[in-house]
């Protein structure tokens, strides 16, 4: 099956910079898929999104939507001819237009009655019926965001681009809106690319995601693949807390300060591995022969789990547990890895 969006070797350098902000980016998004570009501030993700939208020209590479080349070395289709919807971080609503007029803005073609019907339809979809005559200043942040989404969806775009659309909402409401927007896009079968610096958001929202660093993609995969089997040190650290351990590998096993470890793939010689804190078990007694004696350094109760920092030999590590048995700093405990350690690529490999 051909992908709906295909980005190939996309690069962009700004005139006042020497390094490319987007550097050889390649990825594909299938029809109906929700895809996220995840990376720290300044890694080039908004620039990548703006290149896809056609707000700027790439220096190199190509962008194809539904088999139609939108940009390559010979072609540049302007944004209004791309059939792509865009939801901006600040929503960019027209302050002098009502909700209904904002949503109708992109619907220039067709009969008036059909346009009105489509405005009603998308406002209902995003749960804003009854607010048609309001102006943006009289709406909450979440309502404004839904108007922006309705406006982008109204012309039935082949592809929807969302630039940090939830970052202006408070934490509790953000979760609700993410779920709501995700459900709307899935119900409509919309193909979308979301840009975010928020790991949890990317994991919750996307069917697949790409982790971006300094203009390049480090890894593309499902949320589970990216979180559970990070390929690089950067991905391992960016996707949440992890323990990094230098080991001596021989095939699917390695010697480490934690004793022998199982590895998720074969390796030889010195390798850095990542073990998520929840992939360690902690107990008061040495229930397993491979458990290592450790000393509790600190304890952080976080409601749904507890994070212990423990010292194992010369290193300390983080262990998450749902276990209600409370350990206190100074206690002797026994830890062991209960999942294979993830072998990270050597830097530059
Ligand atoms: P954020 O999450 O902070 O928005 P980002 O990953 O989306 O970051 P971009 O907005 O794509 O990053 O910016 C990447 C780099 O390119 C930054 O260093 C930024 O200063 C620079 N940049 C962006 N737009 C321009 C421009 N029009 N001219 C010059 N430099 C730019």
Q: What is the pLDDT of residues 30-58, one digit of tens each?
A: 999 999 999 999 999 999 999 999 999 99
* Domain identity same for 229 and 293: no
The pLDDT, as a whole number, for residue 326 is 85
Q: Is residue 10 part of a domain?
A: yes
Say if residues 60 and 42 touch (Cβ distance below 8 Å).
Answer: no
Q: Is residue 115 part of a domain?
A: yes
pLDDT > 90? residue 295? yes
- Ligand 1, atom 10, residue with closest C-alpha: 46
pLDDT > 80? residue 325? no
Domain CATH number, residue 319: 2.40.50.140
Quickly list DSSP for 168-179. Answer: TS-HHHHHHHHH
Q: For 192-217, what is the mean pLDDT?
A: 95
* Domain identity same for 258 and 229: no
Q: Does residue 12's CB lie within 6 angstroms of at least one atom of ligand 1?
A: no
* Domain identity same for 245 and 212: no
* Domain identity same for 104 and 249: no
Q: By CB neighbour count within 10 A (0-12 exposed, 13-18 middle, 19+ buried), where does 349 fall?
A: exposed
* Domain identity same for 333 and 202: no
The pLDDT, as a whole number, for residue 122 is 87
State which of 184, 205, 235 marks the end of a domain.
Answer: 235
219 CA distance to ligand 1 middle (Å): 21
Please state which of the ranges 62-71, 82-91, 164-173, 241-250 shows the lowest mean pLDDT. 164-173
Q: Is residue 348 part of a domain?
A: no
Say if residues 217 and 56 touch (Cβ distance below 8 Å).
Answer: no
Q: Is residue 349 part of a domain?
A: no
Q: What is the pLDDT of residues 205-238, one digit of tens each?
A: 999 999 999 999 999 999 999 999 999 999 999 9
Identify each DSSP E strand in 2-156 by its residue range: 5-12, 22-29, 34-38, 60-65, 68-71, 84-87
pLDDT grade for 177, boundaries at 50, 70 and 90: confident
Say if residues 303 and 321 touch (Cβ distance below 8 Å).
Answer: no
State which of 214, 235, 256 marks the end of a domain.
Answer: 235
Q: Does residue 43's CB lie within 6 angstroms of at least one atom of ligand 1?
A: yes
* Domain identity same for 300 and 218: no
* Domain identity same for 286 and 192: no
* Domain identity same for 127 and 156: yes
* Domain identity same for 200 and 247: no
Domain CATH number, residue 94: 3.40.50.300
Of ligand 1's listed atoms, the one at least distance from the Cα of 44 is: 11
44 CA distance to ligand 1 middle (Å): 6
d(CA 106, CA 124): 17
The pLDDT, as a whole number, for residue 335 is 93
Q: Does residue 45's CB lie within 6 angstroms of at least one atom of ligand 1?
A: yes
Please state which of the ranges 72-86, 138-152, 252-266 shows the lowest mean pLDDT. 138-152
Q: For 264-285, what is the mean pLDDT?
A: 95
d(CA 142, CA 172): 11
Max alpha carbon distance in the chain (Å)? Answer: 76
Residue holding tokens 């404004």? 144
Percent of all residues in the chain with a pLDDT value above 90, rounded to a whole number: 66
* Domain identity same for 86 and 224: yes
pLDDT grade for 1, boundaries at 50, 70 and 90: low
Which of 10, 13, 14 has the most ligand 1 atoms within 8 A of CB, as the residue to mutate? 14
216 CA distance to ligand 1 middle (Å): 14
Give the mean pLDDT of the chain.
Answer: 91
328 is in which domain, residue-wise? Answer: 241-343
d(CA 272, CA 42): 27
d(CA 151, CA 85): 8
Q: In this structure, are strands 60-65 and 68-71 parallel, antiparallel, or unpaired?
A: antiparallel
Q: What is the pLDDT of residues 112-148, one digit of tens each?
A: 888 888 899 889 888 888 888 899 999 988 889 889 9
User: Which tops the pLDDT comparison, 87 or 323?
Assistant: 87
User: Which tops the pLDDT comparison, 270 or 257?
Assistant: 270
| CA distances in angstroms from 38 to 64, 194, 205, listed in the order given | 21, 8, 11
The pLDDT, as a whole number, for residue 173 is 75
Per the structure, the count of domains in the chain is: 2
Say if residues 23 and 218 touch (Cβ distance below 8 Å).
Answer: no
State which of 200, 235, 270 marks the end of a domain.
Answer: 235
* Domain identity same for 225 and 319: no
pLDDT grade for 69, boundaries at 50, 70 and 90: very high
* Domain identity same for 41 and 188: yes
**C-alpha closest to that of 300 among 339, 329, 338:** 329
Q: Does residue 42's CB lie within 6 angstroms of at least one atom of ligand 1?
A: yes
The pLDDT, as a whole number, for residue 114 is 83
Alpha helices in the chain (DSSP H): 45-53, 99-104, 112-125, 141-153, 171-188, 199-205, 223-228, 233-238
Q: Does residue 55's CB lie within 6 angstroms of at least one atom of ligand 1?
A: no
Alpha helices in 32-71 (DSSP H): 45-53
pLDDT > 80? residue 258? yes
The pLDDT, as a whole number, for residue 77 is 96
The pLDDT, as a whole number, for residue 349 is 47
pLDDT > 80? residue 347? no
Give me 65's structure tokens: 């939507």
pLDDT > 70? residue 100? yes
């Amino acid at each position: 099956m051909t992908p709906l969006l295909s980005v190939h070797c996309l690069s962009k350098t700004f005139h006042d910079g020497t390094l490319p902000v987007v550097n050889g980016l390649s990825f594909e998004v299938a029809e109906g898929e929700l895809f996220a570009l995840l990376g720290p501030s300044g890694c080039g993700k908004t620039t990548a999104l703006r290149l896809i939208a056609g707000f700027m020209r790439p220096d190199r590479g190509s962008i194809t939507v539904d088999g139609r080349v939108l940009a390559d070395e010979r072609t540049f289709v302007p944004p209004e001819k791309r059939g792509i919807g865009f939801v901006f971080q600040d929503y960019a609503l027209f302050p002098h237009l009502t909700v209904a007029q904002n949503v109708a803005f992109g619907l220039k073609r067709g009969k008036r009655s059909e346009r009105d019907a489509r405005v009603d339809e998308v406002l209902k979809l995003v749960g804003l019926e009854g607010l048609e005559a309001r102006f943006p200043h009289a709406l909450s942040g979440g309502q404004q965001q839904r108007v922006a989404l309705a406006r982008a969806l109204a012309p039935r775009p082949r592809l929807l681009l969302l630039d940090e659309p939830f970052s202006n909402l408070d934490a509790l409401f953000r979760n609700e809106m993410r779920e709501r927007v995700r459900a709307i896009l899935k119900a409509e079968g919309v193909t979308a690319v979301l840009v975010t610096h928020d790991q949890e958001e990317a994991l919750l929202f996307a069917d697949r995601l790409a982790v971006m660093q300094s203009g390049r993609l480090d890894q593309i995969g499902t949320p589970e693949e990216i979180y559970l089997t990070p390929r690089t040190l950067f991905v391992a650290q960016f996707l949440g807390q992890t323990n990094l351990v230098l080991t001596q590998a021989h095939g699917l096993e390695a010697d480490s300060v934690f004793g022998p470890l199982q590895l998720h793939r074969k390796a030889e010689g010195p390798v850095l591995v990542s073990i998520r804190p929840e992939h360690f078990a902690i107990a008061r007694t040495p229930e397993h022969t491979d458990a290592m004696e450790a000393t509790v350094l600190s304890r952080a109760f976080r409601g749904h789990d507890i994070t212990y920092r423990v010292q194992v030999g010369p290193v300390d590590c983080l262990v998450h547990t749902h276990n209600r048995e409370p350990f206190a700093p100074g206690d002797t405990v026994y830890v062991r890895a209960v999942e294979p350690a993830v072998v990270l690529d050597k830097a530059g490999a």
